[in-house]
Amino acid sequence: MGLLDGKIALITGGSRGIGAAIVRKFVAEGATVAFTYARSVGPAEALVEELGADKAKAYQSDAASFDAAAQLIKDVTADFGNISILVNNAGITRDTLLMRMSEDQWDSVMDNNLKSIFNLTKHALRPLMKSGAGSVINMSSVVGVTGQAGQANYAASKAGIIGFSKSLAKEMGSRNLRCNVITPGFIETDMTDELPEALKESYLANIPLKRLGNPEEIAKACVFLGSDLSSYVNGQVLGVDGGLT
């Protein structure tokens, strides 16, 4: 018996990295999972084939688009019924120092990382409430708590997610809808693979556990927040960062 048996979950940015780990873990715990991807058609199709079309379905959708988010929720609820767990995981980086940052670099990060949370959550609220005990899990970042040079846009978007989530938790708690945040630290993904070794070493020096995290460790935290194990956890920020903060 899985911790998510009978749950219908929607995970954005689910074809690769942390998102794919969450999809796999949710299916392993008994959930039926709908997940989105933007351009990674091959990885999305491979993930569905790996898990089985009866357990997972991929939808190509732009989380930064209000109208696309509305259509996605319509499609998912038509296919599976009311969503009980929403994991807002999709996000991008456009790193550079603020004095060099273009308006497009700012806007694209805010649209994909923060506006997308508004888009998906707003349209998913009614299905989540109808599920009887909905859970929204928003993926922020340790950078949204601490800040980071060269990531003013990314840090601002991830900090905004925390404020949004705490507000939603207060608004919707009376409807038995919970909203919590995960702030991953430095996790082994395609993004961290591209970092210079010297920079990785400087990060490791500040992490008490002395290693990077892995995507499955974030997925386990999502299972906790999506399951009845966290039935009285609402409006919280869970740092999964090896003790960095």
**CATH code where residue 229 lies:** 3.40.50.720
Mean pLDDT, residues 62-67: 96
Half-sphere exposure of 99 (CA within 13 A, CB side): 0
Cβ-contact 217, 189 below 8 angstroms: no
Q: Is residue 245 part of a domain?
A: no
Q: Which of 37, 59, 154, 232 is catalytic?
A: 154
Q: Is residue 181 part of a domain?
A: yes
Q: Is residue 47 part of a domain?
A: yes
pLDDT, tens digit (0-9, with 9 covering 90-100), for 140-194: 999 999 999 999 999 999 999 999 999 999 999 999 999 999 999 999 987 777 7
Q: Tell me the CA distances in angstroms from 184 to 84, 150, 155, 168, 220, one per residue in order.
A: 23, 18, 13, 20, 12
Q: Is residue 159 part of a domain?
A: yes
Q: Tell me the CA distances in angstroms from 146 to 20, 78, 159, 200, 211, one per residue in order.
A: 26, 41, 9, 17, 19
Residue 59 known to be catalytic: no
Is 239 among the annotated ligand-binding positions?
A: no
What local confidence, expressed as pLDDT, does residue 200 receive?
79
Q: Is residue 2 part of a domain?
A: no
Q: Is the pLDDT of residue 197 over 90?
A: no
What local confidence, expressed as pLDDT, does residue 1 receive?
72
What tokens were used for 108? 């694209």
Is 65 among the annotated ligand-binding positions?
A: no
Q: What is the number of structural domains in the chain?
A: 1
* pTM, two decimal places: 0.95
Is 89 among the annotated ligand-binding positions?
A: yes
Mean pLDDT, residues 221-235: 98
- Mean residue pLDDT of the chain comes to 95
User: What residues make up the domain containing 39?
Assistant: 8-238
Mean pLDDT, residues 5-9: 97
Q: Is residue 3 part of a domain?
A: no
What local confidence, expressed as pLDDT, does residue 192 receive?
73
